């Protein structure tokens, strides 16, 4: 058909333009008059541009001689064989560039073999199939080559790119396997392979080119791997036996639903219908409401489809979208469609009438009511086709311009079954749902939804606070992204516990008044200021025992608190004397003290020359003790001098006792 040829011609002309090889030389004819060529004398290089022979088994020469000069053939333009039905072509070792490789299959239905000299550094041939030297690009599988007894071809594991028209028209192949490294399937790579029933696609495949499987009329199903991110125009056009698409559920760009292929938006909605299987059994189909575009050729040749209804978001029906749907009888456009592309409903003989509302503002050439005659390349109108539409619409003008029977609506009865527009509420603005007439597109009624209000995020730090500067943070709405609150973060404060804290004096004797020793606080050698950086509080600092100083960080730079302790010793005991003696003992007596835990009595030991503890009196009320032995165990005797000391003590806890200052007594017996 013309639309098929036009599409392919456009695609191939682009490839031809990109692949052209610049040569600045005169066109010449070889001595054997088989080839036209041009030369660059300074490099002794020839480019073959034309073929004048009729042989079907063609050997490209390595050297061309003219006027006694020899030129190495480094480039050939394979377009030169378009007028000859070749069966085999042999490429010499000298060829570095082959232009228009896709012409080998596109224009030669009898090609069985491509041979390449083993010494060629750029191309290779395996089993008659043309590859690049590394085997990464499969350039051409001759379309008359029979792969094996099973008619299944296994693509080598080295292949990454299946080139443009690589398998074009290879009718002997029924299946494609292997190719586990393939990332790219080029334009029309498998087009017109009418015998292919199944294709195994690589898990590394990223791109499927335009018209890649066009005309694979025996292909039944196809599974799109997770890795595929691009599918070209009309990639599956005219696959007349195709019943379903399948897509890996982890694919982020495409999805299949009920066997129909869609592309996905960023939020995973099905927004474009890529391809509807031509052999799908369903007689009617409702396009999902998320879909906004019916892609070109998306329903091409859907042979069982009788009724189609657009979803409530449909905007654009692109060129040839429903062409060649032979049994299509009913089309419900809805109130949102704005464009019907060129030839969108071409060759739909069962479609007798289209109702088109005011929403449609653009209709392409031959979009409605036409069929195409391939032999004469003419578009003709179906005589029994009509358009029903209100006056002063794009459809009205299209019908008038194309001499199509026009049925003009008067007053519309309005069927408000279509949701024309949905505006979701935002945090600060109302939302609404607006309805429209299914036919004429008139809008009515809004269901209002109140603003949602902001949903604040956690704090987001813009600038961290430091010990010398303030920071900044903010919150945003998780729904709309608006900044809802901004706040200054105070400067960081050092924990006072990380500072060095020293008491000027760590031990005192009780005075009966509160004792408050001086405190020095430093950080990294810097002395902190009392009242600016810290404050002090005291506890248990009057009576004997362990007193506490609490240093608390204040101001801009310091926080928390730390405790340090000092001791308050009981003062000296008064009235320490000998109150009674006997021949072998002395009774010591002293004045009682309140607020202490008891008393300790020491006696001088001449042998050790130290005062040694001889008695611990528990209880503050006790005030005398009888001593009959020296520290070394000797009995006291007359006419001897004995030395004693006494102190009060305070038990703070099980591990801490504070001893007071000692009172001395020397007595001669």
Domain membership of residue 292 (yes or no) is no
Q: Is the pLDDT at 411 greater than 70, yes or no?
A: no
My answer on whether 563 and 612 are in the same domain is no
| DSSP annotation of 574 | P
Q: Is the pLDDT at 455 greater than 50, yes or no?
A: yes
Q: Which helix (H) or strand (E) holds 105?
A: helix 103-106
Half-sphere exposure of 271 (CA within 13 A, CB side): 7
Q: Which helix (H) or strand (E) holds 63?
A: strand 63-66
- For residue 9, what pLDDT is reported? 47
Residue 599's CB is within 10 A of a number of other CB atoms, namely 27
Assign residue 526 the CATH number of its domain.
2.60.40.1080
Tokens 């290879």 map to which residue?
A: 170
**pLDDT tens-place string over residues 461-498:** 999 988 888 999 999 998 888 998 999 989 888 898 89
C-alpha pair distances (Å), 303 with each of 243, 284, 346, 377, 658: 11, 11, 14, 23, 106
C-alpha pair distances (Å), 264 with each of 233, 261, 314, 337: 16, 10, 15, 20
Give the separation between CA 561 and CA 552, rounded to whole angstroms: 4
Q: How many residues does the chain have?
A: 669
Q: Is the pLDDT at 533 greater than 50, yes or no?
A: yes
- For residue 42, what pLDDT is reported? 75
Domain membership of residue 124 (yes or no) is no
Tokens 């007071």 map to which residue?
A: 660
- 406-410, 423-427, 603-607: least confidently modelled range: 406-410
When pLDDT is averaged across residues 180-185 and rounded to a whole number, the result is 96
My answer on whether 565 and 538 are in the same domain is yes
My answer on whether 641 and 616 are in the same domain is yes
- 237-246, 251-260, 403-412, 420-429: least confidently modelled range: 403-412
My answer on whether 485 and 521 are in the same domain is no
- Choose one of 569, 587, 621: the last residue of a domain: 569
**pLDDT tens-place string over residues 363-396:** 999 999 999 999 999 999 999 999 998 888 899 9
Assign residue 619 the CATH number of its domain.
2.60.40.10
My answer on whether 660 and 581 are in the same domain is yes
- For residue 83, what pLDDT is reported? 84
Q: Is the pLDDT at 21 greater than 60, yes or no?
A: no
The four Cα atoms 141, 143, 145, 149 give a dihedral, to 10 degrees, of: 100
**pLDDT tens-place string over residues 301-315:** 999 999 999 999 999
Average pLDDT, rounded, for the chain: 89
| Domain range for 484 | 460-489
When pLDDT is averaged across residues 161-168 and rounded to a whole number, the result is 96
Domain membership of residue 657 (yes or no) is yes
- For residue 388, what pLDDT is reported? 92
Is residue 411 exposed (0-12), middle (13-18) or buried (19+ Cβ within 10 Å)?
Answer: exposed
Residue 69: which pLDDT band, with cuts at 50, 70 and 90?
confident
* Radius of gyration over every alpha carbon of the chain, rounded to an integer in angstroms: 51
DSSP per residue, 366-422: T-SSEEEETTTTEEEE-TT-EEEE-SSSHHHHHHHHTT-EEEE--S------EEEEE
Domain membership of residue 564 (yes or no) is yes
Give the separation between CA 296 and CA 392, rounded to whole angstroms: 28
When pLDDT is averaged across residues 249-275 and rounded to a whole number, the result is 96
Given CA atoms 619, 622, 623, 626 in this order, what sign does their dihedral have? negative
Tokens 């101001």 map to which residue?
A: 555
My answer on whether 662 and 587 are in the same domain is yes
Sheet holding 207-208, edge to edge: 123-126, 129-132, 137-140, 161-162, 184-185, 207-208, 230-231
My answer on whether 502 and 564 are in the same domain is yes
When pLDDT is averaged across residues 145-166 and rounded to a whole number, the result is 91
My answer on whether 583 and 653 are in the same domain is yes
Q: Is the pLDDT at 254 greater than 80, yes or no?
A: yes
Domain membership of residue 538 (yes or no) is yes
Q: Is the pLDDT at 36 greater than 70, yes or no?
A: yes
Domain membership of residue 629 (yes or no) is yes
Give the separation between CA 524 and CA 500, rounded to whole angstroms: 8
- For residue 611, what pLDDT is reported? 94
Contact 167, 105 (CB under 8 A): yes
- Choose one of 546, 569, 592: the last residue of a domain: 569
- For residue 2, what pLDDT is reported? 46
Contact 72, 94 (CB under 8 A): yes
Q: What percent of the chain has pLDDT over 70?
A: 91
Q: Which helix (H) or strand (E) holds 48?
A: strand 45-51
- The beta strand positions in 133-253, using DSSP E, are 137-140, 152-155, 161-162, 175-178, 184-185, 198-199, 207-208, 221-224, 230-231, 244-247
3-state secondary structure of 103: helix
Domain membership of residue 120 (yes or no) is no
My answer on whether 531 and 563 are in the same domain is yes
DSSP per residue, 435-503: EE-TTT--EEEEEEE------B---EEEE---SSS-EEEEEEBTTT--EEEEEEEPPP-EEGGGSEEEE
Strands 526-527 and 586-589: unpaired
Is residue 54 exposed (0-12), middle (13-18) or buried (19+ Cβ within 10 Å)?
Answer: exposed
Domain membership of residue 263 (yes or no) is no
The tokens describing 57, both together, are: 């088994």
Given CA atoms 33, 38, 40, 45 in this order, what sign does their dihedral have? negative
Give the separation between CA 208 and CA 541, rounded to whole angstroms: 88
Q: Is the pLDDT at 255 greater than 90, yes or no?
A: yes
φ, ψ of residue 522 in degrees (nearest 5): -135, 150
Q: Which of 128, 192, 191, 126 is nearest to 159 (CA)?
A: 126
- Choose one of 519, 542, 569: the last residue of a domain: 569
When pLDDT is averaged across residues 254-278 and rounded to a whole number, the result is 96
Q: pTM value?
A: 0.60
- 28-32, 575-579, 657-661: least confidently modelled range: 28-32
My answer on whether 617 and 603 are in the same domain is yes
My answer on whether 475 and 512 are in the same domain is no
Q: Is the pLDDT at 170 greater than 80, yes or no?
A: yes
The tokens describing 612, both together, are: 């040694």
My answer on whether 442 and 467 are in the same domain is no
The tokens describing 533, both together, are: 């950086």
**pLDDT tens-place string over residues 204-247:** 999 999 999 999 999 999 999 999 999 999 999 999 999 999 99
Write the secondary structure of 173-204 as one string of H (helix), E (strand) and C (coil): CCEEEECCCCCEECCCCCCCCCCCCEECCCCC
Our count of domains for the chain comes to 4
Strands 494-495 and 558-559: parallel
């Amino acid at each position: 058909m013309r639309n098929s040829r036009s599409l392919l011609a456009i695609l191939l002309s682009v490839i031809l333009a990109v692949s052209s090889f610049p040569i600045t030389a005169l066109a010449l004819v070889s001595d054997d008059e088989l080839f036209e060529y041009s030369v660059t004398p300074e490099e002794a290089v020839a480019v073959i541009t034309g073929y004048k022979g009729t042989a079907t088994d063609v050997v490209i020469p390595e050297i061309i001689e003219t006027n006694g000069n020899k030129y190495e053939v480094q480039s050939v333009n394979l377009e030169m064989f378009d007028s000859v039905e070749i069966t085999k072509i042999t490429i010499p070792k000298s060829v570095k560039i082959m232009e228009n490789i896709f012409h080998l299959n596109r224009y030669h239905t009898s090609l069985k073999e491509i041979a390449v000299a083993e010494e060629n550094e750029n191309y290779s041939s395996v089993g008659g199939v043309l590859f690049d030297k590394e085997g990464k690009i499969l350039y051409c599988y001759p379309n008359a080559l029979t792969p094996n007894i099973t008619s299944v071809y296994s693509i080598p594991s080295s292949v990454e790119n299946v080139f443009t028209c690589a398998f074009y028209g290879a009718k002997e192949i029924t299946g494609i396997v292997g190719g586990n490294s393939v990332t790219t399937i080029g334009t029309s790579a498998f087009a017109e392979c009418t015998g292919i029933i199944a294709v195994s696609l690589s898990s590394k495949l990223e791109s499927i080119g335009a018209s890649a499987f066009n005309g694979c009329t025996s292909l039944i199903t196809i599974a799109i791997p997770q890795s595929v991110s691009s599918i070209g125009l009309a990639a599956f056009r005219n696959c007349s036996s195709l019943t379903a698409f399948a897509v890996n559920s982890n694919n982020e760009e495409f999805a299949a639903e009920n066997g129909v292929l869609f592309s996905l938006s960023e939020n995973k909605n099905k927004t474009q219908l890529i391809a509807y299987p031509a052999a799908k059994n369903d007689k009617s189909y409702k396009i999902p409401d998320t879909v906004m575009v019916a892609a070109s050729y998306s329903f091409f040749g859907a042979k069982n489809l009788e009724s189609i209804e657009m979803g409530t978001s449909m905007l654009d029906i692109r060129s040839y979208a429903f062409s060649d749907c032979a049994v299509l009888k009913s089309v419900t456009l809805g109130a949102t469609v704005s464009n019907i592309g060129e030839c969108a409903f071409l060759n739909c003989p069962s479609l007798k009438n289209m109702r088109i509302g005011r929403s449609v503002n653009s209709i392409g050439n031959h979009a409605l009511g036409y069929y195409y005659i391939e032999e004469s390349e003419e578009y003709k109108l179906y005589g029994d086709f009509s358009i029903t539409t209100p006056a002063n619409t794009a459809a009205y003008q299209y019908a008038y311009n194309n001499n199509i029977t026009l049925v003009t609506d008067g007053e519309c009865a309005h069927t408000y079954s279509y949701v024309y527009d949905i505006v979701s509420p935002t945090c600060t603005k109302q939302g609404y749902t607006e309805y429209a007439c299914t036919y004429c597109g008139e809008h009515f009624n809004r269901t209002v939804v109140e603003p949602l209000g902001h949903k604040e995020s956690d704090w987001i730090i813009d600038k961290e606070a430091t010990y010398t500067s303030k920071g900044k943070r903010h919150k945003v709405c998780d729904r709309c992204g608006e900044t809802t609150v901004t706040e200054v973060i105070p400067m960081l404060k050092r924990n006072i516990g990380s500072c060095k804290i020293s008491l000027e004096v760590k031990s005192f004797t009780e005075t009966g008044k509160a004792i408050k020793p001086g405190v020095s606080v430093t950080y990294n050698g810097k002395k902190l200021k009392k009242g600016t950086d810290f404050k002090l509080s005291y506890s248990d600092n009057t009576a004997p025992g362990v007193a506490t100083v609490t240093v608390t960080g204040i101001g801009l730079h310091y926080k928390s608190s730390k405790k340090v302790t000092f001791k308050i010793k009981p003062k000296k005991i008064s009235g320490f004397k000998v109150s009674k003696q006997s021949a072998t003992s002395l009774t010591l007596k002293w004045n009682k003290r309140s607020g202490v835990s008891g008393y300790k009595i020491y006696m001088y030991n001449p042998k050790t020359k130290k005062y040694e503890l001889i008695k611990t009196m528990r209880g503050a009320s006790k005030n005398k003790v009888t001593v009959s032995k020296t520290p070394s165990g000797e009995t006291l005797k007359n006419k001897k001098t004995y030395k004693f000391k006494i102190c009060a003590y305070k038990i703070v806890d099980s591990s801490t006792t504070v001893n007071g200052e000692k009172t001395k007594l020397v007595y001669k017996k």
